[in-house]
Structure 1
Amino acid sequence: MNVKKFTAATSREALRKVRDALGPDAVILSNRPVDGIVEILALDNDDVASISAPPHGSEMAQPAPALHVPENYANRRAPQPQQDNVDMAAMQSMMAAAIAHAKDSAAAEMSAMMNEVRAMRGLMETQLAAISWGTTQQREPEKATVLRQMLAAGFSANLARYLVEKMPSGKSEADSARWIKTVLERNLTSMTDEDEILDKGGVFALVGPTGVGKTTSTAKLAARCVMRHGPEKLALITTDAYRIGGHEQLRIYGKILGVMVHSVKDEADLRIALKELRNKHTVLIDTVGVSQRDQMVTEQVAMLSETGADVKRLLCLNATSTNETLNEVVRAYQGSGLAGCIMTKMDEAASIGNVLDVVIRQKLRLFYISNGQRVPEDLHLADKAMLIDRAFRLTREQAATQYADSDLPLLMAQAGNVNGDRSLREVSLG
């Protein structure tokens, strides 16, 4: 900091020297009489700006507020010594505080400006996407038809927009629909042979929110295991000690199948039970239903992961749930040990594109589909071609009228930037 001293017989003359040397924007640090003369300490405004400038490489440097010399200052009576004896350290602290305040204000203004820029960018992208899709509808009506069918089937706007944008041009409506189904089928991973579970065996835990059909699905799997290997090769465990009579349903199934059902309360109990049952060919664990937004999900996953056994988790996905809810469920229950999923309540769903969309985008492996309460009849291997065809067939009649032509540009604009959607990056197009 280059502080300069100016002296003169009067304040007028001293201030004139300051203005001549440093200009009208000079910062006055002190003004006091010394041995019959007036002494002024001043600092050039550029020096103040350099002090307040951010470190090298920052995006913005803020000038410090200047203390201008008033025009009529020299006409005032010279201040008394006790008023002008300004402590330099205190003055520097005041300057530092002023500089920090100016920098904070500038940072807040910059943040607000960037938020406005982002909002404007999002609005422009939405408007441009709407215009683009309006043009696409006129130029390539077959794409609009396929898009309408995907939305009516329950697929998300993001996946629908991504695939329709990637779809080759010049195809007929029939060929376009066939291309979409082929791509969806290619990206739907399923278990093709249940020997992977029934013959290989292991420890499997069925997890998911309350009411998705975990206990019934456990019973169906148990029946298949008993038919293949006999009841002595199977063990059933329930962790549902929360609901009144929650474990009784599984005990009834176990009694019918001739299989003992073990009830555990916590990780320690589960660890002991799995150690005692290590000679069993297959162990099925029916877990307590927990909302995807409950902290107990994390505790449940930890309990299953830290037993010392290789517990493979199968996530039950309710086909009647919305796309948003299913995505929340998957995000909550994901982690190491999640082997795949079972689609439940398929017989109750008006459309199944929503659950297929989540399975595809979350890269889940679909083990079984459940379409009823009968044990074990209503549990089937996932036939990819059948599932994709059914997703479109269920709503084929409603697709033409469910979404008007004027709705499609807005729906696609709201889908956002699909190129930035991480879940779509690995979708294979062929």
Structure 2
Amino acid sequence: MKVKKFTAATSRDALRKVREALGPDAVILSNRPVDGVVEILALDNDDVASLAAPVSDSEAAQPAPQLHVEEPAAAFVPGFGAAAGPVPARRQKDLAQASVATPAAAPTAAAPVQTYAERRAPAAEPSVDMSAMTSMMSAAIAQAKESAAVEMNGMMNELRAMRGLMETQLAELSWNATAQRQPHKAAVLRELLGAGFSATLAKYLVEKMPATEDAAQAMRWIKTVLARNLNTIGNDDDLLSNGGVFALVGPTGVGKTTTTAKLAARCVMRHGPDKLALITTDAYRIGGHEQLRIYGKILGVMVHSVKDEADLRIALKELRNKHTVLIDTIGMSQRDHMVAEQVAMLSSSGADVKRLLCLNSTATGETLNEVVRAYQGSGLHGAIMTKMDEATSIGGVLDVVVRQKLNLHYISNGQRVPEDLHLADRAMLVDRAFRNRAGAAAALGDADLPSMMAGAAARANPSFA
């Protein structure tokens, strides 16, 4: 370890010499003015690091090294050499002894001082894995977003629950006030709900009802409005005389095959067996196509069986000269994903296939709404009410027909072919809906009406003519 001394006229020049010789990391030990010049003692940064290193026991036992101050030639200042003043006597004696004891040697060139730029560059520090840091930050951000989304979703659910509770309470209060001011509206509403109509349709009708205090007159207005908004065909000519390709669709067990046989019998009686063709796609149900074949054999009509869209396209192409073609489709639940495939097969068969939806009169309104939404597809040509003889109340199916704006063609009220198939009569159907429903209406108490009205969805209100 060597401590180097640098002298210069000013501190700036002395520091520049230190920087050139030892670099910017040099350690300044002392800085003082001496005889009109500035003297700086400096130490290399590497030597300081060696001093800071731990010392072993063997090295600690050795005597401390003596510091040798080396004065470089570049630090010589003229006027301060040997001739600058007299040499002390003791110094002269030491010089004389050194000259006697040491033979004259050839002058050697002083080793050049190594500058900072000539030294070896320090070892590079280990680099940071930026990809790992990026992935960690991305994971943290994603986790934060997920937590925020979960909290936001929970908060929105609570707000929706609070809103629904407030709307329910306000609707109950509003209906209680209305029932007290206009008791005949409560009576009409009780009749509608007892007949099986939905709370949504009943609420809309009661709100649009003209001002009157006579319950009987109000019920006549209600029946008139319901009959006017039931879309029906006038006679068989609208369906059978015009002809075409008709496919009966609907859930399992709704009566599609029997209804197909009834329509086929009507066509045969009107146009003869040569003008009619029957197609069945029911290859899954055991004996499904055999039932239709028996009906076809009785009527003298050939029954064709198809399995997929290609077979249906070929069959319709061969039967294009027929006046009427009736297709009996596979019955499946409205929640089955194959319903969409069946609708697509009929729509892309290459012919104008008109779909007639069979609605079970014994089903609830919620179930029928779900059936209509599942089989709607690009649009239904019409609907047929089946099992009317088994239904206690037909208000639910009429409610769906009115709110979904379906064109009601026929009603079926038995198994006889073709007797138990009739054209839909508006007035008869509305009268049948309210007939013998006084007991069901009386079962609804005044305390039940506000809660039922509060659950009616205002956005589902139908528009009436």
Shorter-chain TM-score: what band? 0.7 to 0.9
Question: Which whole-Å CA distance do the structure 1 matches of 2:347 and 2:134 have between them?
Answer: 60
CA contact (8 A) 1:312 1:337 kept: no
Displaced runs of 4+ in structure 1, greater than 4 A?
A: 89-108
Instruction: Note the 1:417-428 alignment, pairs <5 A.
Output: 417-418=457-458, 420-421=459-460, 424-425=461-462, 427-428=463-464
Instruction: Note the 1:35-74 alignment, pairs <5 A.
Output: none
Structure 2 CA distance for partners of 1:258 and 1:95, relative to 1, 3 Å: closer
TM-score w.r.t. length of structure 1: 0.74
Question: Which whole-Å CA distance do the structure 2 matches of 1:93 and 1:266 have between them?
Answer: 51
CA contact (8 A) 1:305 1:337 kept: no
Question: Which whole-Å CA distance do the structure 2 matches of 1:343 and 1:240 have between them?
Answer: 21
1:334 aligns with 2:376: yes
Match for residue 177 of structure 1?
219
SS in 1 for 2:286: coil
Structure 2 CA distance for partners of 1:180 and 1:252, relative to 1, 3 Å: same
**One-letter amino acid matched to 2:256:** K
Structure 2 CA distance for partners of 1:148 and 1:94, relative to 1, 3 Å: same
SS in 1 for 2:354: strand
Question: Which whole-Å CA distance do the structure 1 matches of 2:138 and 2:316 have between them?
Answer: 66
Match for residue 236 of structure 1?
278
Q: CA deviation at 1:289?
A: 0.7
Structure 2 CA distance for partners of 1:108 and 1:266, relative to 1, 3 Å: closer
Q: CA deviation at 1:266?
A: 1.3
Q: CA deviation at 1:111?
A: 3.5
**One-letter amino acid matched to 1:359:** V
Question: Which whole-Å CA distance do the structure 2 matches of 1:105 and 1:248 have between them?
Answer: 60
**One-letter amino acid matched to 2:369:** N
My pick for the range that moved more, 378-387 or 96-105, is 96-105
Match for residue 315 of structure 1?
357
Deviations 1:78-121 (Å, cap 9, x if unpaired)?
xxxxxxxxx9x999999998787666655544433232222111
Instruction: Name the Cα RMSD after superposition.
Output: 2.5
Q: CA deviation at 1:400?
A: 3.9
Match for residue 38 of structure 2?
none
SS in 2 for 1:279: coil
TM-score w.r.t. length of structure 2: 0.69
Deviations 1:99-144 (Å, cap 9, x if unpaired)?
8766665554443323222211100110111111112221111111
Q: CA deviation at 1:172?
A: 1.1
Match for residue 448 of structure 2?
407
CA contact (8 A) 1:341 1:366 kept: yes
Match for residue 415 of structure 2?
373
1:215 aligns with 2:251: no
Query: How many pairs were matched up?
Result: 342
**Rg comparison, structure with higher value:** 2
Question: Which whole-Å CA distance do the structure 2 matches of 1:98 and 1:255 have between them?
Answer: 73
Q: Which 5+ residue runs of structure 1 have no aligned equivalent?
A: 1-33, 37-86
Q: CA deviation at 1:306?
A: 1.0
Instruction: Note the 1:280-319 alignment, pairs <5 A.
Output: 280-319=322-361
SS in 1 for 2:414: coil
CA contact (8 A) 1:274 1:309 kept: yes
Question: Which whole-Å CA distance do the structure 2 matches of 1:339 and 1:135 have between them?
Answer: 43
Question: Which whole-Å CA distance do the structure 1 matches of 2:432 and 2:26 have between them?
Answer: 101
Match of 2:266 among 224, 245, 249: 224
CA contact (8 A) 1:351 1:394 kept: no
Match for residue 291 of structure 2?
249
SS in 2 for 1:205: strand
SS in 2 for 1:206: strand
SS in 1 for 2:335: coil
Identity %: 75
Deviations 1:292-344 (Å, cap 9, x if unpaired)?
11111111111111110111010000000111111111111002252011000
